[in-house]
Structure 1
Amino acid sequence: MNEVIIKALYLTVIVYFLTLVLSRILGRKLVSQMTFFDYIVGIMIGSAAVQAATVQKNPSLSAFIILIVICLLTFIIDIIHLKSIRLRKLVDSEPIVVIEKGKIVDKNMKKIQLSLDELNMMLREKNYFNHADVESAILEANGKLSVQAKAEKQPLTPSDIYLTPAYKGLTRDVIIDGKVMENNLKYINKDEHWLKKQLVSYGVHDFKDVFYAGMDTSGNFYVSKKQNNKEVPGMHGIE
């Protein structure tokens, strides 16, 4: 019995780290950007991983091989996918126009079996409650709806009133959970001596007392101190 448990734990750990390594090699993709093909591949990888981890007799070398081959094929397909339009059309669904020039394209709706209720729901999720406000809408390969509002319904931008807003880039993290981000400090041409001076103005004298600190491209410095574990009355909105 003990041997079975140890073997199961051993296989699970191996499969876990193997899957982790393979997923890192394959790259990362947000769930919202995944296509139907990506989901199928994910299910196949998961099934192979479970098979490799749960078979007790003859630790299923074939399952490990299947897992590696699936990931290898996916990696190769992804590379070709970037360079081949034909493969992209084969693997991914093509974007479909469902609203054009303010009118619903019912022919395309039937083609992709999208009901009017589903279209209305997707428009509402984009904060469009009236078809008359929409110039065009495209159902993307990942199932998301891209919507372009009519010119008169689009929000006002600074360029519309001839304003040039100040540039705002990324905020650089300089301290995360008490640890100084050396590379980011170098990127903004600062050092720890400068950082200590900034923290003193916030009443902080030790990097370890800072949960987060960062600086944006305008030179604005932000600090969030670590909180002690002792609860303060009202800190959760309840006295």
Structure 2
Amino acid sequence: MQEWLLVVFRTVLTIVVLFLLTRLLGKRQVSQLSLFEYITGITIGSLAATIPIEMDGSWYLGIVSLLVWIGFSFGIEFLTLKSKTLRDAVDGHGTVLIKDGKILEENLKKERLTTDELMEQLRSKNVFRVADAEFAVMEPSGGISVLLTKENLPITPNSLGIKVAPEQETQTVIMDGEIMDEPLATIGLNRKWLDVELEKIGVAIENVFLGQVDSYGQLYVDLFDDQLIVPKPQVKATLFATLKKCEADLEMFALSTDNKEIKDMYEQSSIRLAKVIDNVRPVLTR
């Protein structure tokens, strides 16, 4: 076999083997790396690069070395799942950099992290004042996790005591002007429903770059022509406004009659409707 064909064969073989072995190691190998995973990535890359161009008869030993290294890495990862001590030895553990709003200079020196680098990491977390950080720790992967002080934490519905409805996965039903039947079926809809919704906003299917349906059955579309403005869905807002109007009408009817029996009926109906509105408010106002 000619040398160039041999190189092509070895390269393809190396790519296939490397892909399969990386899949075996899992997604951690392509995410933020620990120290051992960093070393593993470099070594695997170096071995894989030399295999295709090794011209002597022992090129297959590179494959053997690659398999041994992957097997060793896989074994280490398995053992670290079972042993906290080994996990700390291999992956390391977090280092506290800020505690109670104060920078721990000794820990900065230990991690060889400058003040400028610390501030850069904090800014990447939208923290521009050290005083706004209650706690910060450098993770084994090298990233920094930050806990803001209570007064600087973002407001959430939970902190305000507001109940919100659970959010389910949004389905992409149109992509590049083509209808995606499987996502439509997943949420119990069909092409006829989609055609009706597109007709409501006056858009043709071939003009839609991306279309998504949320868990409440509202369609959102992005058009190829960015100059066109598509109205946002108003179904939930309209329904909520209608319910509030009905509640107000019932209260007005109760005030406009002198018949006690009818007045009580309207008042009780208004109270019951108000309870219904409170129950559906998280769904209709999000």
- Could you state the TM-score of these two structures normalised by the residue count of structure 1? 0.80
* Alpha carbons 2:29, 2:41 under 8 Å: kept: no
Which consecutive residues of structure 1, in runs of 5 or more, have no partner in the other structure?
none
Asked if the contact 1:32/1:142 (under 8 Å) is kept, the reply is no
Q: 1:54 to 1:171 in 2, by over 3 A?
A: same
Query: Which amino acid is the alignment partner of residue 180 of structure 2?
Result: V
Residue 70 of structure 2 is matched in structure 1 by: 71
Other-structure match for 2:17: 18
State how far apart, in whole Å, the 2-side matches of 1:74 and 1:172 are. 38
**Correspondence for 1:82:** 81
Partner of 1:180: 180
Distance 2:92 2:71 in 1: 23
Match of 1:142 in 2: 141
**Aligned-partner Cα distance in 1 for 2:209–2:71:** 40
1:193 Cα deviation after fit = 5.6
1:146 offset after TM fit, Å? Answer: 0.7
Aligned alpha-carbon RMSD (Å): 2.8
Q: 1:30 to 1:156 in 2, by over 3 A?
A: farther
Residue 30 to residue 152, structure 1, CA distance change in 2 (3 Å): farther
Distance 2:169 2:29 in 1: 20
Q: 2: distance between equivalents of 1:58 and 1:175?
A: 54
Listed as ranges, the gaps of 5+ residues in structure 2 are 229-286
Task: Check the 8 A contact 1:52/1:59 in 2, yes or no.
Answer: no
Match of 1:218 in 2: 216
CA deviations on 1:31-80 (whole Å, 9 max, x unpaired) are: 55221221110111111111211112226111011112222222222222
Q: How does 1:49-198 map to 2 (within 5 A)?
A: 49-58=48-57, 60-176=59-175, 178=178, 180=180, 182=182, 184-191=183-190, 194=193
Distance 1:197 1:20 in 2: 45
Mapped to 2, the partners of 1:6 and 1:136 lie a distance apart of 58
Cα distance in structure 2, aligned partners of 1:47 and 1:217: 47
Q: Give the C-alpha shift of residue 176 in structure 1.
A: 4.5
Structure showing greater radius of gyration is 2
**Greater shift after overlay, 54-63 or 110-119?**
110-119
Q: Matched residues in 1 for 2:29 and 2:191: separation?
A: 35
Determine if contact 1:81/1:88 at 8 Å carries over to the other structure.
yes
Structure 1 residues 56 and 212: CA distance shift in structure 2, 3 A: farther
**Higher helix content, 1 or 2:** 2
